[in-house]
Amino acid sequence: MDEQSPSSRKSNEIEHKVYARVGLLGNPSDVYYGRTISFSLANFWATVKLQPSHHLIITPHPTHDLVQFSGLDHLVNRLQSEGYYGGVRLLMSICKVFYNYCNENNIVLSKENFTLSYDTNIPRQTGLSGSSAIVCAALNCLLDFYKVRHLVKVEIRPDLILSAEKELGIIAGLQDRVAQVYGGLVYMDFNKDHMEKLGHGVYTPMDISLLPPLQLIYAENPSDSGKVHSTVRKRWLDGDEFIVSSMVEVADLALQGQTAILEKDYSKLADLMNRNFDLRRIMFGDDALGSLNIEMVEVARRVGAASKFTGSGGAVVVFCPDGPSQVKVLEDACKEAGFVIQPVKVVPSYLNEDDLITLSG
């Protein structure tokens, strides 16, 4: 039984919100020692709450971790639409990774316990990093509960989040976790020398006001983003010349994109976004990308807009160079195609003073 009163527990509650992320340029080269530009998307988010408690409790979500059904048809339909996994496993995994990291780095944790719960409105399987948002929010809660935020470098936190997901077999790269740890707009260099020397990439925050107005398109019943990297990864590891050279070009798009954004050269940015998707399509092939995902890109291109995946599929980020009139045409096209479209809202960086003092340099 919990030893604290409800009012006392509420006053000690820690809550963190972490937003979805959009890969603007360079993805998926983060998995291949490349470069990317990503930003935090204010349209969707995950929250994790931590309350001190007598026992350590991971609270299942009433919707996402459903274990009671009206019948077999309900259970089967649920599994077909939502899959087998909710967020409980994510919370457990980051607790394990956090504990082990602190032990290995002589960071002493108090013997207090807690109850973790979560909520999210990030659409599933849209390539908007819903799983890592939950993990990142939970890590923030743990850092504050144990008062060790100043002892865990900001640059290391994305690796901890990715490690927790790898424990669960989730295929991913670092860019999503960097964007969600830092917030805002971030240019990332995952150069192999940097990664091996520093244990992480080199991450450069950028001013979000430099971005032009962007749109988000997503499908309400998208494909699974976790299966897209597989064959390309193997070919890259095997030294396939085409894949290796193409991935270098994808990484270079982010480098060019950093300059284009700083100079507000939005025509160049549009070209880079389109080229990013074209290269992905050539490398992965239409069967791997899925017809629905390709159609989301094409519906934007047919009205003259630039578009690419936000991640591995399920959603696309769009730039309409001709402004509001073009956006209206795109909205009509999306409605006819059955896609959801929203204006992109970008979150500023949310690193606090304790975070900033841990940054290298």
Q: Which residues are catalytic?
A: 176
Q: How many CB atoms lie within 10 A of CB 195?
A: 16
Q: How far apart are CA 128 and CA 326, in angstroms?
A: 24
Q: How far is CA 339 from CA 4, 97, 200, 323, in A?
A: 48, 38, 37, 20
Residues 6+ apart with CB under 8 A from 4: 12, 52, 53
Angle at 172 between CA 26 and CA 85, to 5 degrees: 140
Q: How far apart are CA 45 and CA 18, in angstroms?
A: 6
Dihedral angle sign, alpha carbons of residues 117, 121, 126, 129:
negative
Query: Exposed, middle or buried, 261 (CB in 10 Å: 0-12/13-18/19+)?
Result: buried
* In the chain, beta strands by DSSP E: 14-25, 35-53, 57-58, 113-120, 185-189, 202-206, 215-218, 306-309, 315-319, 340-343
Q: Nearest-CA neighbor of 277 among 217, 190, 334?
A: 217
Residue 30: both structure tokens together: 């983060």
Q: Nearest-CA neighbor of 56 among 125, 12, 112?
A: 112
Q: How far is CA 193 from CA 178, 202, 204, 258, 286, in A?
A: 18, 11, 17, 21, 33
Q: How far apart are CA 206 and CA 37, in angstroms?
A: 9
Phi first, then psi: give them for residue 320, nearest 5 degrees. Answer: -100, 100
Radius of gyration of the chain (CA): 21
- In the chain, helix, strand, coil percent, each to 5? 50, 20, 30
